């Protein structure tokens, strides 16, 4: 069991001083239209209306992707009888998937590194604020193979696909997802919650195949993403040959760095992202290898959303 403080000692008092940081500002969004995307057979799918609620799973998502879902007792969580906050004043490592319940705050003190080796689930309806001056390392890929499929680094998972709201203030965060899940945001088939990255934060986030680095999982839209700090994001990370693009070898990036995930062609999704890069932000994004996929914005078989850029954007190809 890891030791983290619930007391009002020096580390906990420092948390109270930091929680006042980082309130998202209101900005005017500009609509960014896209074009229709061709299917592999050349057919053009016009992205206008989503499928009706009565559509089958296969019509919405195609063949179901196998995942290994966790039972409630397989997650690690905070003591439900204690306040939903933890102050990390010394290094800590969690080998099981962590889940938060309700509004939760992690304070990580300067010089402290906290590692979640199987990621953090933030279910829809819950929220997580990560604050302080320390370092957070999250890697849902540590356990290779099917165990990692569908698990966001921070956010959704196969059991809880839609992510709750995530706020990052001051800390340095490195987050990597399993296949079909966002580095920070939605799990497989899940949308990202609202994600706020404060001006003092430094975030590196890598999404799994067909999922955004920050935003939606596979077949998932983003929530509102507001970035003020320094971000390095890559989407659709696939450390192998892509089965549909055998000419691409090595590391393939097949989804947006920031925005929605890719969609199954039958879904015809529109209005799938809402991204603000505020003045003073410094964002580096991996340009996807595939046509019809934006570095910031819409994934495959999706168009249209809201994008407002006042900060610096560096594209890596």
pLDDT in tens, 167-199: 999 999 999 999 999 999 999 999 999 999 999
Confidence (pLDDT) at 15: 35
5 is a domain residue: no
Confidence (pLDDT) at 200: 95
Confidence (pLDDT) at 268: 59
Confidence (pLDDT) at 79: 76
> What percent of the chain lies above the pLDDT cut of 70?
74
Q: Residue 275 above 90 pLDDT?
A: yes
CA angle 175, 148, 129 (to 5 degrees): 35
Q: Residue 103 above 90 pLDDT?
A: yes
Confidence of residue 44 (pLDDT cuts 50, 70, 90): very low
Confidence (pLDDT) at 56: 84
Confidence (pLDDT) at 43: 37
- Dihedral class, residue 215 (left if φ above 0, else alpha if ψ from -120 to 50, else beta): left
Q: Residue 49 above 70 pLDDT?
A: no
- Report which of 148, 130, 129, 132 is spatially closest to residue 140, judged by C-alpha positions: 148
Q: Work out the average pLDDT over 229-249.
A: 69
Strands 165-169 and 195-197, bridge-based pairing: parallel
**Distance in angstroms (rounded) separating the CA atoms of residues 289 and 204:** 19
Confidence (pLDDT) at 82: 65
4 is a domain residue: no
Tell me which of 20-24, 75-79, 238-242 is least confident. Answer: 20-24
Mean pLDDT in the chain? Answer: 80
DSSP state of 162: S
**Distance in angstroms (rounded) separating the CA atoms of residues 138 and 74:** 18
Confidence of residue 59 (pLDDT cuts 50, 70, 90): confident
297 is a domain residue: yes
51 is a domain residue: yes
Confidence of residue 45 (pLDDT cuts 50, 70, 90): very low
192 is a domain residue: yes
Q: Which domain holds residue 142?
A: 10-316
- Looking at per-residue pLDDT, the higher value among 58 and 128 belongs to 128
Confidence of residue 48 (pLDDT cuts 50, 70, 90): very low
Q: Residue 27 above 50 pLDDT?
A: no
By the 8 A CB rule, do 282 and 252 touch?
Answer: no
**Distance in angstroms (rounded) separating the CA atoms of residues 282 and 124:** 28
Q: Residue 46 above 80 pLDDT?
A: no
**Distance in angstroms (rounded) separating the CA atoms of residues 248 and 89:** 45
**Distance in angstroms (rounded) separating the CA atoms of residues 40 and 44:** 9
* Cα separation of the two ends of the chain: 42
2 is a domain residue: no
Confidence of residue 241 (pLDDT cuts 50, 70, 90): very low
277 is a domain residue: yes
Q: Work out the average pLDDT over 105-111.
A: 97
Q: Work out the average pLDDT over 100-124.
A: 95
Task: Please give the tally of structural domains in the chain.
Answer: 1
1 is a domain residue: no
């Amino acid at each position: 069991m890891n030791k983290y403080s619930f007391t009002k000692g020096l580390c906990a008092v420092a948390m109270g001083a930091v929680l006042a940081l980082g309130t998202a500002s209101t900005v005017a969004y500009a609509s960014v239209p896209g074009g229709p995307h061709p299917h592999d057979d050349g057919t053009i799918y016009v992205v206008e209306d989503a499928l009706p609620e009565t559509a089958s799973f296969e019509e919405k998502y195609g063949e179901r992707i196998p995942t290994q879902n966790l039972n409630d007792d397989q997650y690690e969580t905070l003591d439900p009888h204690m306040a939903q906050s933890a102050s990390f004043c010394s290094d800590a490592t969690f080998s099981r998937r962590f889940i938060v319940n309700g509004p939760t705050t992690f304070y990580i003190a300067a010089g402290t590194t906290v590692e979640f080796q199987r990621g953090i689930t933030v279910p829809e309806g819950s929220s997580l604020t990560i604050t302080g001056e320390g370092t957070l390392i999250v890697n849902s890929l540590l356990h290779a193979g099917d165990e990692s499929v569908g698990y966001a680094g921070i956010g959704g998972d196969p059991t809880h696909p839609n992510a709750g709201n995530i706020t990052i203030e001051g800390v340095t965060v490195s987050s990597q997802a399993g296949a079909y899940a966002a580095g920070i945001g939605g799990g497989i088939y899940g949308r990202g919650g609202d994600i706020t990255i404060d001006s003092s934060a430094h975030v590196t986030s890598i999404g799994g195949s067909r999922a955004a680095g920050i935003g939606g999982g596979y077949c998932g839209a983003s929530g509102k993403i507001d970035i003020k700090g320094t971000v390095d994001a890559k989407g659709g990370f696939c450390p192998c040959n892509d089965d549909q693009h055998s000419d691409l070898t090595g590391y393939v990036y097949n989804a947006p760095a920031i925005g929605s995930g890719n969609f199954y062609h039958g879904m015809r999704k529109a209005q799938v992202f809402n991204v603000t890069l505020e003045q003073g932000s410094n964002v580096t994004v991996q340009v996807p290898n595939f046509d019809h996929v934006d570095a910031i914005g819409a994934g495959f078989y999706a168009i249209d959303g809201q994008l407002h850029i006042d900060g610096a954007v560096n594209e890596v190809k």
